A and B are shown apart, each in its own frame.
Chain A
Amino acid sequence: MFNKIREIHDAFDRKTLSSEELTHSYLSAIRSSQHNAYLTVCEEEALAQARAADLRIAKEGKVPRTTAPLLGIPLGIKDIFTIDGIRTTCASKMLDQYVPPYTATCVSRLESAGAVILGKTNMDEFAMGGSNENSAYGPVKHPTHSERVPGGSSGGSGTAVGAHLCVAALGTDTGGSIRLPASYCGIIGIKPTYGRVSRYGLVAFASSLDQAGPMTHSVEDAAILLDVMSGHDPLDSTSSFQPVTRCFEATQQQPNWSRLRIGVPKEYMIGGLAPDVESSIQASLKWFESQGAKLVPISLPHTQYSVAVYYIIAVSEASSNLARFDGVRFGTRPSHFQNDLLSFYKKVRSGFGPEVKRRIILGTFSLSAGYAEAYYQRACQVRRLIRQDFEQAFRDVDFIAGAVSPTTAFKLGEKSSDPLQMYLNDIFTIPANLAGLPAMSVPCGKDREGLPIGLHLIAPWFAEENLVGVASAFEKARG
Chain B
Amino acid sequence: MHSEFEAVIGLEVHCQLSTQSKIFCGCSTRLYGLSAENEMMTDVSVNTNTCPVCAGHPGTLPVLNKKVVEYAIRAGLATHSTIQLKNVFARKNYFYPDLPKGYQISQYDQPICQNGWLIIDTQNGPKKIRIDRIHMEEDAGKNVHVSGFSLVNLNRAGVPLIEIVSAPDMRTPEEAGAYLRALYAIVTYLGICDGNLQEGNFRCDANVSVMPKGSTQLGTRAEIKNVNSFRFIEKAIEYEISRQIEVVKSGKKVVQETRMYDSSRNVTLSMRSKEEAHDYRYFPDPDLIPVKVDPAWIQEIQGTLPELPEQKKNRYMSELALSAEDAGVVTNSKRMATFFERTVAELVQAGADQRAVAKPAANWITGEVARLCNEENIDIDQVRISPKHIADIVLLTRNQVISSTGAKQAIAVAWKTGTPIEEIIEKEGLKQVSDLSALEPILQKVIADFPAQVAEFKAGKEKVLGFLVGQIMKQTGGKANPSLLQDLLKKKLI
- A residues contacting B by CB (< 8 A) are 81-82, 88, 90, 95, 98, 100-102, 104, 199-204, 206-208, 234-238, 316-317, 319-320, 322-326, 328-330, 341, 345, 364, 367-369, 372, 376
Contact = CB atoms under 8 A, between A and B. Distances in A.
8 contacts: A82-B59, A100-B52, A102-B60, A235-B61, A237-B64, A320-B102, A326-B97, A367-B281
Contacts of A200: 59-61
B221 interface: no
Contacts of A320: 91, 93, 102-103, 281, 283
Given A100-B57, A324-B100, 11 more contacts: A100-B52, A208-B286, A235-B61, A237-B289, A316-B283, A320-B102, A322-B102, A330-B58, A367-B282, A367-B283, A372-B281
Contacts of B101: 323-324
Contact of A364 (B52, B281, B286, B289): B281
B146 to A, nearest CB: 16
Interface string B64-93: 100000000000000000000000000101
A262 B57 CA distance: 43
A201 B281 contact: no
A398 B61 CA distance: 33
Given A235-B61, A316-B283, A324 B288 contact: no
Given A101-B52, A200-B59, A203-B58, A323 B289 contact: no
Contact of A326 (B52, B62, B102, B279): B102
B56 A324 contact: yes
B55 interface: yes
Interface string B372-389: 000000000000000000
A237 B287 contact: yes
B22 to A, nearest CB: 14
B100 A367 contact: no
A90 B58 CA distance: 10
Q: Give the size range of B's interface with the partner.
A: 20 to 34
A329 B279 contact: no
Given A98-B58, A203-B58, A324 B102 contact: yes
Contacts of B59: 81-82, 88, 100, 104, 200-204
B95 interface: yes
A203 B288 CA distance: 16
A74 B63 CA distance: 32
Q: What are the 9 tightest A-B residue pairs by CB atom distance, in nearest-first order?
A: A323-B102, A207-B286, A367-B281, A208-B286, A203-B58, A201-B59, A203-B59, A328-B97, A82-B59
B62 A237 contact: yes
B61 A199 contact: yes
Given A90-B58, A323-B101, A372-B281, A345 B95 contact: yes
B152 interface: yes
A364 B283 CA distance: 11
B60 A329 contact: no
B92 to A, nearest CB: 10
Given A203-B58, A328-B97, A237 B52 contact: no
Contacts of B55: 329
B283 A376 contact: yes
From A81, A324, A326, residue with most partner B Cβ within 10 Å = A324
Contact of A369 (B57, B279, B288): B279
Given A101-B52, A316-B283, A341-B97, A95 B58 contact: yes
B355 to A, nearest CB: 55
Contacts of A88: 58-59
Chain A at the B interface: SS class = loop
Nearest to A364: B281
A266 B457 CA distance: 113
A342 to B, nearest CB: 9
A202 to B, nearest CB: 6
B60 A238 contact: no
A317 B102 CA distance: 12
A320 B351 CA distance: 68
Contacts of B56: 324, 329-330
A234 B53 CA distance: 13
A3 B406 CA distance: 97
A448 B97 CA distance: 55
A441 to B, nearest CB: 25
Nearest to A98: B58
Contacts of A345: 95
Given A204-B59, A329-B55, A372 B283 contact: yes
Nearest to B96: A341
A99 to B, nearest CB: 11
Given A208-B286, A237-B64, A367-B283, A323 B95 contact: yes
A207 B91 CA distance: 12
B287 A102 contact: no
Contacts of A328: 97, 100, 152
Nearest to B24: A237
From B52, B57, B63, B91, residue with most partner A Cβ within 10 Å = B57
Contacts of A324: 56, 58, 100-102
Contacts of B283: 316-317, 320, 367, 372, 376
A260 to B, nearest CB: 33
B9 to A, nearest CB: 26
A376 B95 CA distance: 21
A279 to B, nearest CB: 40
From A104, A330, A368, residue with most partner B Cβ within 10 Å = A330
B288 A329 contact: no
Nearest to B64: A237
A102 B286 CA distance: 22
Contacts of B91: 320
B49 to A, nearest CB: 15
A101 B61 contact: no
A210 B183 CA distance: 43
Contacts of A367: 93, 281-283
A317 B93 CA distance: 11
B275 to A, nearest CB: 13
Contacts of A206: 286
A66 B289 CA distance: 33
Contact of A323 (B63, B64, B103): B103
A15 B135 CA distance: 62
From B100, B287, B288, residue with most partner A Cβ within 10 Å = B287
Contacts of A82: 57-59
B93 A323 contact: yes
Contacts of A319: 93, 281
A319 B91 CA distance: 12
A201 B283 CA distance: 22
A180 to B, nearest CB: 22
Interface in B95-144: 95, 97, 100-103
Contacts of B58: 82, 88, 90, 95, 98, 100, 203-204, 324-325, 330
Interface in B268-289: 279, 281-283, 286-289
Contacts of B281: 319-320, 364, 367-369, 372
A236 B100 contact: no
Contacts of B95: 323, 326, 345
Contacts of A95: 58
A207 B287 contact: yes
Nearest to B92: A320
Nearest to B287: A207
A148 B286 CA distance: 35
Contacts of A102: 52, 57, 60
Nearest to A126: B58
Contacts of A330: 56-58
A341 B57 CA distance: 21
Interface in B372-411: none
B63 A234 contact: yes
B46 to A, nearest CB: 14
Nearest to A369: B279
A202 B287 CA distance: 12
Contact of A238 (B52, B279, B286): B286
Contacts of B279: 368-369
Nearest to A344: B97
